[in-house]
Amino acid sequence: MKTACALLATGAFRKIGTGATAALAVLACVPAPAQEYPSKPVRIIIGFPPGGATDLVSRLMAPKYVAAFKQQFIVDNRPGANGVIGSDLAAKAAPDGHTIHLATIGSLVISPAIGKVPYDPLKDFAPISQAVALQNIFIVHPTLPARTLKELIALARAKPRALNYATSGQGSPGHLAAELFKNMAKVNIVHVPYKGGGPALTDLVAGHVEIFVAVISTAMPQVEAGKARALAVTGGKRAVALPDVPTVAETGLKGYEATNWYGYLAPAATPRAIIERLHKETVAILNLPDVKKTLLNRGIDAVPSSPEQFAAHIRKETDKWTKVIKEAGLKAN
């Protein structure tokens, strides 16, 4: 049997009467209001494997979403290509609010500037809110004879291409931070991209790579355990979680700064009412004292924003880093 919506679409409702019958047919075609959202579990796609900062943020937020919406929110790890695989999956998901995406500067700005990606980061998503801002950090294996960034620079200059540095992927914020470091410090170290921060950290601790340009939250447990040595953070100021670790600029590379951020988006055609509901709850969660404290203890700042502010931030960062990437000559492998 055809639904009332199908009958209306074909004009067949004229054959089944008018008045109340036709009115019911029209109502059957009206999308469910935002108050009824979500009607099934919501998937949170992240473009990295478990163990990294995106996974940490997502799994901290997910139960808070469950409490707010009275529905399941399931973290879906889709690693690969510096988050591009996850972003592409999210961009092509049904625009009904049941798929949202915690995206990074890597998949929204850096990878599109370095090479072609299968989505338009400015047109294929509906921003919900920026979520967090965080720094990267240069860490090394404890056996490496470099206790400061200056010593690492001296070692790298003495042995060109002898040292390897890990990142969470080609075109990741860590990759960009390292390439800026290479250019400013005039050193030649070799990039080893991984599918995420977790696997990269595992190999650093095992001694398979000497250097890892990591997100602070990913690196902190191993730094605190003495299994990795922190040399410098990449932001414009020291991290609250690691106050004794200097910035790269403090070590002598004046003007150096490279920060990282994540934010929530939905597929572009998601109804505005649903975006507004997601935005309201996302901001409320990010402002919860326990969430802010947990994030800060891992070197992450909660930075909720309006959808319009987040969209403007993405455009601003695209303009900024596209220029930097072009000047640095970075290209996709």
Q: What is the mean pLDDT of the chain?
A: 89
Domain 34-133+261-328 identical in fold to domain 135-251: yes
Among 72, 70, 200, 198, which residue's Cα sits nearest to residue 140? 200
- What average pLDDT does this structure show over 258-280? 96
CATH of 34-133+261-328, one of 1.10.287.3510, 3.40.50.300, 3.90.1640.30, 3.40.190.150: 3.40.190.150
pLDDT of amino acid 327: 76
- What average pLDDT does this structure show over 221-229? 96
Residue 118, preceding peptide bond in cis (omega within 30° of 0) = no
DSSP 41: P
pLDDT tens digits, 122-156: 999 999 999 999 999 999 999 999 999 999 999 99
On the question of pLDDT at 26 being above 60, the answer is no
pLDDT tens digits, 211-221: 999 989 889 99
Number of residues that make up the chain? 333
How far apart, in whole angstroms, are the C-alpha atoms of residue 97 and residue 93?
A: 9
Query: In terms of pLDDT, which residue wins out, 1 or 71?
Result: 71
Mapping DSSP to helix (H, G, I), strand (E, B) and coil, where does residue 9 land? helix
Contact 230, 253 (CB under 8 A): no
Contact 111, 54 (CB under 8 A): no
pLDDT of amino acid 19: 46
Please state the domain extents for the chain: 34-133+261-328, 135-251
Instruction: Please state which architecture CATH assigns to domain 135-251.
Output: 3-Layer(aba) Sandwich (3.40)
